[in-house]
Amino acid sequence: MAIKSFLPGRLGFGTAPLGNMFRAIPDEEAAATVDAAWDNGIRYFDTAPFYGAGLSEIRLGEALAGRPRDEFVLSTKVGRVILDEIEDPAARDLGEKGGLFEHGRPNKIVNDYSADATLRSIEDSLKRLNTDRLDIVWVHDVAQDFYGDEWLAAYETARTGAFRVLQKLRDEGVIKAWGLGVNRVEPLELTLDLDEPKPDAFLLAGRYTLLDHERALQRLLPAAEAQDVDIVVGGPYSSGVLAGGQHFEYQKAPAPVITKVEHIKALAGQYGVGIKAAALQFSLAHPAVAAAVPGASRPSRIVEDVAARGEKVPAAFWTALRTEGLIARDAPVPSA
């Protein structure tokens, strides 16, 4: 089913930072951040075994313990199995995302998109999250940024393994929906072309933002909308560079990106618009987009996200972005 029908609002919480992404976060700060999300009305939480080798799931499960399970939507991912065996987190081969979770747990991470591994991954996630059910399950990172030229082989394993398992679980009512959670548009376009199985939604990180949206806008989003496949936007702040951070694509932002961000910020300043509001509202404006799930590692960031969602942004600001060539001319923008 289209996930718009059961998502409790258009703003969720992406919990990758709770897996100690970029820095070691104290347990108390992680718990306080989840509490802040709850206290500010957020009821959709997204996580993954990959985030800190299970750390994000464990922390999220602990923070949500005691909350009424029927009052929130929970998604996690498959494609990586976390073992009891220990490895050096800093030495993992993460493709373009090297060092992303070097502060996470040292448990060995094994990439596996087969049917058996998918079922095991779900069982393990339920234990770490201390819950009896998952609402949405995404097939994680089966794309070029992690597998390079081998990505199609990984995708094919997922197509005949994870995809079919998740569709069966969805059809049996064990989960409400399934799809892919990736940082590239090509795997999603490929999946939309399949006759079977058919996903309900996609979690697309970093590819429908103020800084990068042309490809998704021209091909993916129209095709998804035509097939009633909802899009959840991950990384609406482009790994933080659109929210005062230094990262783009999970690495140090290059000079051209910083220059573009400064240009957007200058225009935002002229119109009295917060850069977070501009980024978040742009990502949510396309009719194919059901929700956005920015990450946060501090309670104050959650408060900023909620404020950004509700901030009034004048139509003239969007016109200025178009005029300056900072957004595509045909990109939908929020109505005034």
Angstrom CA distances, 147 to 81, 112, 265, stand at: 16, 12, 34
Which residue among the candidates 46, 141, 145, 305 is catalytic per the annotation? 46
Find where tokens 């299970």 sit. 54
Buried b (16+ CB within 10 A) or exposed e, 145-159: bbbeeebbebbebbb
Specify the DSSP class assigned to residue 101.
Answer: T
Find where tokens 């001319």 sit. 329
DSSP of 49-76, one letter per residue? TTTTTTHHHHHHHHHHTTS-GGG-EEEE
Tokens of 215: 């490809």
- 214's CB contacts (< 8 A; 6+ apart) are 328
Sign of CA dihedral 48, 53, 54, 59: negative
Identify whether 51 is a catalytic site residue: yes
Which residue among the candidates 44, 70, 77, 127 is catalytic per the annotation? 77
Identify whether 198 is a catalytic site residue: no
Identify whether 145 is a catalytic site residue: no
Which residue among the candidates 27, 35, 51, 276 is catalytic per the annotation? 51
Catalytic center residues: 46, 51, 77
